[in-house]
Chains A and B, each alone.
Chain A
Amino acid sequence: MSAEFDISQTLDVKGASCPMPVVKTKQAIDDLAEGEVLEVLATDSGSMSDLDGWATGTDGVELLEQVEDGDVYKHYVEKTA
């Protein structure tokens, strides 16, 4: 399944477990400019709930989409501010 937005950067945290997907996402987002989209590739099944929770509780980010693609959980996060 392909996403309909331009991906500025991809963060590969496959193999890493909690809290790494969230913490690494936060660090990667810090390096992006407003409006850019980060793709996060994870194998941690908890990342579906955790990244959602993080994006909801954090200002300046929006979770655009989450896709389960085989063993990989793909998350698309936009830096909104």
Chain B
Amino acid sequence: MSTDTPASSADSEPLTEAELQARIEELEDKVATLETDTADDTKKMTIVATQGTFDMAYPPLILASTAAAFGWDVVVFHTFWGLDILHEEKSKDLKLSAVGNPSMPMPNALAALPGMDSMATKMMEKRISDNGTATIEELIELSIDQGVELQACQMTIELMEYDEDDFYDDVTVGVGAATALQHMAESDIQLLV
């Protein structure tokens, strides 16, 4: 649609009052349409959570629960190891990986020893508790309470041989990549974690 001046203005002949009035009405209609289009300015965010380690479970949940506090429409699509975050039992036993983690104050050869992941996880859990940081379970409940849609990738559920009942209540199952993409396309923010 063109927003150029009307063809009649090709020469310098002034517009009649009726023409001006018509032009004003036309513009008013356009403004009204634009205002309607932008009235639903609720921001949308889609996060794809692919990791199931203790440390990587936090960022999507913190961002999702905070975004919900802004009143945004938030979907977190959990796929592959990210599914463990929604798994009621596994979510309480997520491990920090000591190997290949440059932030760990130990060489990989040491980090690979049996029990090191558990030790690193326990240390981190203590820090989290001392710091007043919420647990994964609390963040999941908080997110759900605030209307965040936590989606569990159906393909991964089957791949991992999980049961739909294994997940927290109100987790959305039976969704796939197309559902995630649809929300991503409508989103202002899309993140892959």
Chain A residues close to B by CB (< 8 Å): 15-20, 22-23, 25-27, 43-44, 54, 57-59
Contacts and interface: CB of A to CB of B under 8 A. Distances in A.
A23 B69 CA distance: 5
Interface stretch (B30-38, B49-57, B78-86, B131-139): B131-139
Given A27-B69, A59-B71, 8 more contacts: A16-B132, A18-B62, A19-B66, A19-B134, A23-B65, A23-B146, A26-B70, A54-B70
B3 to A, nearest CB: 30
Residue in A17, A19, A58, A59 whose Cβ sees the most chain B Cβ within 10 Å:
A19
A14 to B, nearest CB: 9
B70 A19 contact: no
B62 A19 contact: yes
A23 B67 CA distance: 9
A17 B132 CA distance: 5
B142 interface: yes
B131 A54 contact: no
